[in-house]
């Protein structure tokens, strides 16, 4: 299906190769273009960004055409678009694509507000186009191994840590939208249940918006979960632990090591094993899943409704204003000496 065609043309277009564009030539958008350029059955039409330096970098990295305006990409004819532009532009760009019957993957969060997210979802459903939300962490091979390990288990609790240094790029969001929304999605995906209770603790130590968040949740199925996230840790850490009645699973999402404890005995002993973990690049796996949904018309791996649900929980966490850090004298993260 192209911007000049109809939804009925999707299968025919898939045979000739899907014509795909990328909107946003920042770091994430450039990576989208890089991966798409290397996928079989895909014609990377080009990448859109209003900034000349972004377009130049994307062209140098990928070798694709770059456009200053979205309309220029539409004029070339595209079947699908991935949107990696700033979040506040998602709504406008997504609706522009949907009105032209263009399938789309929208990077997380799906929109700036729940209302805008629902607008996108409803418009996509009415037009019959595929809408997927880019929660790429689901495609991390370590996350997939954890999901498989807990399948069919009676989950009791989930703990997720996602911390690191202050990002070099300035953003108009804090750690909840930038980082924790990944893990809100994982909690909902692991438990296959909605989050019904939210207990956030937020603080601003060095940023105007929250840079520390301790978030507690309860799902409709009774699972207790918590997320620890901040921009004050001098190194990146990404870990997940899941306790079930039959096992305890620990995963490091950076090293991609997943360990399972099982066979608990009354004397406190248990068995332990490392689980096999794949080596796929998460973004590549995500984009392949999106394009497969476009070709088949099947429900995408992360639906628009799921993206909106995770955004709604993240925004609920922000309803409690962030508090100043405990020590007003401390102006920044402690420096590690040694």
State the average pLDDT over residues 226-253. 97
What is the pLDDT at residue 8? Answer: 47
Q: Report the number of secondary-structure helices (H) and strands (E) in the chain.
A: 11, 15
Q: Kindly indicate the confidence band of residue 172, based on its pLDDT and cuts at 50, 70 and 90.
A: confident
pLDDT digit string, tens, across residues 50-60: 999 999 999 99
Q: How far apart are CA 229 and CA 224, in angstroms?
A: 17
Query: Does 138 or 336 have the greater pLDDT score?
Result: 138
The neighbour count for residue 194, using CB atoms within 10 Å, is 12
Q: Is the pLDDT reported for residue 245 higher than 60?
A: yes
State the average pLDDT over residues 176-185. 96
What is the pLDDT at residue 327? Answer: 53
Q: Kindly indicate the confidence band of residue 321, based on its pLDDT and cuts at 50, 70 and 90.
A: low
Q: Kindly indicate the confidence band of residue 338, based on its pLDDT and cuts at 50, 70 and 90.
A: very low
What is the pLDDT at residue 1? Answer: 44
Q: How far apart are CA 19 and CA 295, in angstroms?
A: 12
Assigned token pair, 92: 């406008």
Q: How far apart are CA 298 and CA 141, in angstroms?
A: 22
Q: How far apart are CA 158 and CA 232, in angstroms?
A: 23
Where, residue-wise, is CATH 3.40.50.720 in the chain? 15-135
Q: How far apart are CA 126 and CA 99, in angstroms?
A: 10
What is the pLDDT at residue 225? Answer: 98
Spell out the CATH class of 15-135. alpha beta
pLDDT digit string, tens, across residues 137-156: 999 999 999 999 999 999 99
State the average pLDDT over residues 161-187. 91
Distance of alpha carbon 213 from the chain centroid: 18
In this structure, are residues 21 and 48 in contact, taking their beta carbons and an 8 Å threshold? yes
Q: Which residues of 321-332 are buried (b: 16+ CB within 10 A; e: fewer)?
A: ebeebeeeeeee
pLDDT digit string, tens, across residues 283-292: 999 999 999 9
Q: How far apart are CA 271 and CA 277, in angstroms?
A: 19
* β partners of residue 265: none
Q: Is the pLDDT reported for residue 328 higher than 80?
A: no
Residues with Cβ within 8 Å of 158's Cβ and at least 6 positions away in sequence, in order, are 186, 187, 190, 191, 223, 224, 225, 226, 240, 241, 242, 243
What is the pLDDT at residue 208? Answer: 86
Percent with pLDDT over 70 in the chain: 89
Spell out the CATH class of 137-280+304-319. alpha beta
| Angstrom distances, CA of residue 97 to CA of 19, 66, 104 | 14, 18, 7
pLDDT digit string, tens, across residues 182-232: 999 999 999 999 999 999 999 999 888 999 999 999 999 999 999 999 999
Residues with Cβ within 8 Å of 222's Cβ and at least 6 positions away in sequence, in order, are none
Q: Is the pLDDT reported for residue 79 higher than 70?
A: yes
pTM, entire model:
0.89
Using DSSP's 3-state secondary structure scheme, residue 3 falls into: coil
State the average pLDDT over residues 152-180. 91
Q: Is the pLDDT reported for residue 49 higher than 80?
A: yes
Percent with pLDDT over 90 in the chain: 86
State the average pLDDT over residues 27-37. 96
Where, residue-wise, is CATH 3.30.360.10 in the chain? 137-280+304-319
State the average pLDDT over residues 53-70. 94
């Amino acid at each position: 299906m192209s911007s000049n065609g109809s939804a009925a043309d999707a299968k025919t277009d898939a045979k000739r190769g899907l014509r795909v564009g990328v909107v946003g030539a920042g770091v994430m958008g450039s990576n989208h273009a890089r991966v798409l350029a290397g996928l079989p059955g895909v014609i990377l039409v080009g990448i859109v960004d209003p900034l000349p330096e972004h377009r130049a970098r994307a062209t140098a990295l990928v070798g694709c055409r770059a456009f200053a305006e979205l309309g220029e990409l539409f004029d070339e004819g595209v079947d699908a678009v991935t949107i990696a532009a700033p979040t506040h532009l998602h709504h406008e760009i997504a609706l522009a694509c949907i009105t032209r019957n263009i399938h789309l993957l929208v990077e997380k969060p799906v929109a700036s507000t729940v209302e805008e997210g629902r607008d996108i979802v409803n418009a996509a459903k009415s037009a019959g186009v595929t809408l997927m939300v880019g929660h790429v962490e689901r495609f991390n091979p370590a996350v997939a191994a954890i999901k498989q390990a807990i399948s069919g288990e009676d989950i009791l609790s989930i703990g997720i840590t996602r911390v690191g240094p202050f990002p070099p790029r300035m953003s108009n969001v804090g750690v909840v939208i930038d980082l924790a929304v990944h893990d809100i999605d994982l909690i909902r995906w692991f438990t296959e249940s909605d989050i019904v209770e939210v207990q956030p603790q937020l603080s601003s130590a060095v940023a105007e918006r929250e840079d520390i968040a301790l978030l507690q949740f309860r799902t409709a199925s009774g699972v207790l979960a918590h997320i620890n996230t901040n921009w004050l840790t001098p190194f990146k850490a990404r870990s997940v632990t899941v306790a079930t009645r039959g096992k305890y699973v620990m995963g490091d999402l950076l090293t991609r090591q997943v360990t399972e404890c099982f066979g608990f005995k009354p004397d406190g002993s248990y068995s332990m094993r490392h689980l096999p973990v794949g080596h796929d690049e998460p973004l590549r796996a995500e984009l392949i899943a999106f394009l497969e949904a476009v070709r088949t018309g099947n429900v995408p791996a992360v639906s628009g409704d799921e993206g909106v649900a995770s955004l709604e929980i993240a925004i609920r966490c922000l309803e409690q204003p962030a508090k100043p850090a405990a020590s007003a004298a401390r102006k920044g993260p402690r420096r590690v000496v040694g």
